[in-house]
Amino acid sequence: MHTLRRCTALLALSAGTLASLPALAADELHYNQISLRAEVSQEVARDLMIVTLYTEDQNTDPAKLAADVSTTMNKALAQAKQVKDITLRQGSRNSYPIYDTKGQKITGWRERAELRLESSDFAALSKLTGELLTDLKMGGMDFAIATPTRKASEDALLKEAVTAFKARAQLATDALGGKSYKIVNLNLNSNGYPQPYMRAPMMMKAASMDAAPVTPDVEAGTSQVSMTADGAIEVLMP
């Protein structure tokens, strides 16, 4: 009976020892681990010009109003399509009633339609914008980073961020007197590319029949974008 009790106790002890091994292994995974962060940034040129033009009119006949607005927009679209390397997008188009002074009776209708032009050829788009201002009004001029430029800068920043992280990891390893390190995890994140740089609507007079079209001045500027590398390393001691 005593022998049986001893065997049961030994088995229980062995089982308890085996059960503690995963916990010990988990503790060892965090041995000499350090969390690090590195960030790199660069100035990227805004190389995409975005122009928003619009036409707005009113009439007591909503059908006549819609036809007039469509005619103006179709003329602008046909003219813009003649210029290469310009992307055309029709923006919002809204129609709403106009009420009398008492706000009870509809006295007319007002309609507004937008045309959005995008291009990396600033000179061509500026010239076209000046020409279109004979019939349309300027809604705004924005600048953004074109998709190919964004991808190229993001790839370059990713490499720089990894290099910066590794340099910081080596610095931490040397400070602790370690012989080397291994990366436990690493996360790379872009801080996001800025929204288009928006300029206030430009007050520009339409060109008269005997005057040259007005060409807007262009100054796109740059935006600072960044990439961060967050992770953890395990320092291997001698």
Chunked into runs of 10 residues, the chain (238 residues) has average pLDDT values of 46 44 53 91 91 95 95 95 92 92 90 96 94 94 90 92 96 94 93 55 41 56 88 93
Query: Tokens in use for 218?
Result: 């262009």
Q: What is the dihedral of CA 192, 196, 200, 205, to 10 degrees?
A: 170
- Looking from the CA of 130 toward its CB, the CA atoms found within 13 Å total 13
Q: Which residues of 184-200 are buried (b: 16+ CB within 10 A; e: fewer)?
A: eebebeeeebeebbeee
- For the beta sheet containing 87-99, the strands, ordered from the edge strand earlier in sequence to the opposite edge, are 87-99, 106-119, 48-59, 137-144, 197-199
Domains of the chain, with CATH numbers?
29-47+146-194+224-238 (3.30.110), 48-144 (3.30.70.2970)
With the CA atoms of 64, 69, 71 and 76 taken in that order, what torsion angle do they form, in degrees rounded to the nearest 10? 170
- Report the sign of the C-alpha dihedral through residues 8, 9, 13, 14, in that order: negative
Rounded to whole angstroms, what are the CA distances from 1 to 4, 7, 45, 65, 123?
A: 5, 10, 86, 106, 100
pTM metric for this prediction:
0.66
pLDDT at 202: 43
- Total H helices, total E strands in the chain: 4, 8
